Structure 1
Amino acid sequence: MKILLVINPISGDSNKESLISSIKQRTSSKIEIFRTTGKDDIKKIKNLITENELERILVAGGDGTIKLVAEAMEDESIPIGILPLGSANGLASDLNLPLEQEAFIKVALGDKKKQIDAININDQLCLHISDLGLNAELIKEYEQGTFRGKFGYALQTIPTLFNTEGPYDFTIKTNDKTINRKGIMLAIANSKQFGTGAVVNATGEIDDGIFELLLFKKLDIFEVLKTLKKDAQLSPEFLEVIPTKKASIQTLKNVDFQIDGEYCKALKYVEAEILPKKLSVFIS
């Protein structure tokens, strides 16, 4: 059996050759290497899965690269080993994976696994956090910039805050209610925190069969700083949390939208539904 190693060459700011060398030293399994290009990646990964008998898939990149591989797998049950080398590694943080290279390689090549949920959002897979509004605007600017890594995010933060088109009007429908809210951002969260480490959904669990809608009502620097603490209690004047298994979201105008750290487009309508125990991942 083979190991498929999927590498996003531009993720984060690290050199991937030492990673490949370390993996080869730790396993006797044959390794098939695929480097993403941004063109037909899902189709190409799907072909590699079909053509090879795989014991696991290792993913070197951020949340967006993991999402790419999960979409290519469709109904396959091949476990995924996460090698967190993205600009933001929210899923790895939620799973308490180590961020040092030798340590996360050991976990990814180990035997301990966990089944995690996913969310179907407009027929796309979300493993971590998606959102409409301010954060998606920031990701759009980041992807158009020239600097990678967290420095690239930081560089875009101030101009994005000044140029945001929010607040936005959201109409939210869940199984039992319809509400109208105004806010600068509405997140669809399958986990606790953004890849930057900001804890915005303290009670969220990645395997509990539900997701949370997180409505950020206004920009409050004090509350934003509180998200740096894992046990922080955010003010209801800043954040409203709506747990659900299914939801639809309507806006009055097009709002920038992202899934797992990858900018999608500006849109007016989103449908989301939980997919319990969708993916098997290696954990420490």
Structure 2
Amino acid sequence: MNPLKKRVLFIINPISGGNNKSGFLKKLNRHLDLNKFDAHCVFTEYKNHAYKVAKDHVASSDIIVAVGGDGTVNEVASALKDTDVLLGIIPSGSGNGLARTLNIPLDHKKAIERINTGRSLKIDCGELNGRSFFNMAGLGFDAHISALFDRGGKRGFFGYAKSIINEISSYKSKEYFLRINDREYCKKAFMLSIANSSQYGNNAHVAPEASVNDGLLDVCIIKPFSVWWFPVMIWHLFSKTANRSRYVEIIQGKDILIKREQMAPVHLDGEPLYEGLQINILVKPLCLSILV
């Protein structure tokens, strides 16, 4: 190994976004500057495998690149936070929320060429009951959809959209107690989105003014609304005007407590998990370096 080259590991999720990754290695050899980088690749085989591989290679890598969606990015980033190893992203998921926020090209050729530049940015991360998220966490309807999707929904944007359409008319809003920076609120909400970046993915912006490096999280309270109002809500998301909707309230905070009346899924960067009736969320400023 040439000691002057940077050591870069590509962790590839072969099923993310329903996209075939069989041609990725050819693109990598063609567009990565092999005069600068000593590159190796690993394909993931199971959930949380990306985290394990990244953790095992922190000491021997300068850059670790997640080739996948926000869930794969979350696994790799969780292993790299608070280290000097840079995170790279080759977007290949259903939504690619963090990559879109950071203006990382969705085209693999262009995304690989961005790695050649070596430019990086430090960003915040959130922690929910000790588990990290870098783009978005949530309770309520979006967490419900994430759990259904995880149990066998068709990968990709259209599979996700189909799940939303099938479930939205029957889902019931829930009551939540929130304490945000020592102020208390009781809210009935269709969902709660805890935003580090501005968007869920696919350029659907629930927190248009959120920043990944301001040391704050945006708590987006989506109030109950009629199903007939859903197209207007979608318009607000894609026009970056959700903060102007009468059904959306956004409160910024660093230290957030949420209590709820019953067990239900939450999601971290689109990946569901089950937590208890009390959710503690905080922000860790500038704890991750990402190639942009």
Equivalent residue number for residue 104 of structure 2:
97
How many residue pairs match? The answer is 279
Deviates more, 1:272-281 or 1:172-181: 172-181
Letter in structure 2 aligned against 1:106: E
| Alignment gaps of 5+ in structure 2 | 1-5
State how 1:98-177 maps to structure 2 within 5 Å: 98-164=105-171, 166-177=172-183
Q: Are residues 188 and 105 of structure 1, via their aligned partners in 2, closer, same or farther at CA, if it must alter by over 3 Å?
A: same
Aligned amino acid, residue 23 of structure 1: L
Query: CA separation in 2, counterparts of 1:90 and 1:30?
Result: 28
Task: Give 3-state SS (helix, strand or coil) of 2:42's partner.
Answer: strand
Counterpart Cα distance in 2 of 1:68 and 1:109: 23
For residue 41 of structure 2, what is the aligned residue in structure 1?
33
Distance, in Å, in 2 between the alignment partners of 1:40 and 1:125 is: 13
Checking the alignment, whether the CA contact within 8 Å between 1:137 and 1:160 is kept in structure 2 is: no
Q: Which residue of 2 aligns with 1:224?
A: 234
Deviation at 1:39, TM superposition (A): 5.1
Contact 1:256 1:265 in 2 (8 A): yes
Could you tell me whether the CA contact under 8 Å between 1:58 and 1:108 is conserved in 2?
no
2:183 and 2:243 mapped to 1: Cα distance? 25
| Alignment match, 1:44 | 53
Asked if 2 retains the 8 angstrom alpha-carbon contact of 1:81 and 1:107, the reply is no
1:229 maps to a residue whose letter is S
Q: Which amino acid aligns with 1:103?
A: K
Aligned partner of 1:252: which letter? E
State the match for 1:242 in structure 2: 251
1:94–1:191 contact (8 Å) kept in structure 2: yes
Residues 23, 105 of structure 1: 8 Å contact kept = yes
Q: Secondary structure of the equivalent of 2:26?
A: helix
Q: Identify the residue that residue 191 of structure 1 maps to in structure 2.
A: 197
Residues 254-265 of structure 1 correspond to what in structure 2 (within 5 A)?
254-265=263-274
Contact 1:119 1:127 in 2 (8 A): yes
Q: Alignment partner of 2:261: what SS?
A: strand
Is the 8 Å Cα contact of residues 123 and 290 (structure 2) preserved in structure 1? yes
Query: What is the alpha-carbon distance in structure 1 between the residues aligned to residue 58 and residue 111 of structure 2?
Result: 23
Counterpart among 57, 65, 69 of residue 72 in structure 2: 65
- Note closer, same or farther for the CA distance 1:175–1:150 as it changes in structure 2 (3 Å cut): same
Q: TM-score by structure 2 length?
A: 0.90
TM-score, normalised by the number of residues in structure 1? 0.92
Tell me how far 1:233 sits from its aligned partner.
4.7
**Residues 59, 43 of structure 1: alpha-carbon distance in 2 compared, 3 angstrom cutoff:** closer
Q: Which moved more, 1:170-179 or 1:28-37?
A: 28-37
Q: Deviation of residue 57 (structure 1)?
A: 1.1
Give the superposition deviation at 1:45: 2.6
Cα distance change of structure 1 residues 119 and 226 upon mapping to structure 2, 3 Å threshold: same
> Which of 258, 265, 268 is 2:277 aligned to?
268
- Asked if 2 retains the 8 angstrom alpha-carbon contact of 1:223 and 1:234, the reply is no
Q: Is 2:219–2:250's contact at 8 Å kept on the other side of the alignment? A: yes
Q: Which residue pairs with 1:2 in the alignment? A: 7
For the 8 Å contact 1:81–1:109, the answer to whether it is kept is: no
Shift of 1:24: 1.9
| Partner SS for 2:214 | coil
Match of 1:87 in 2: 94
Gaps of 5+ in 1: none
Residue 145 of structure 1 contacts residue 152 of structure 1 at CA under 8 Å; is this kept in 2? no
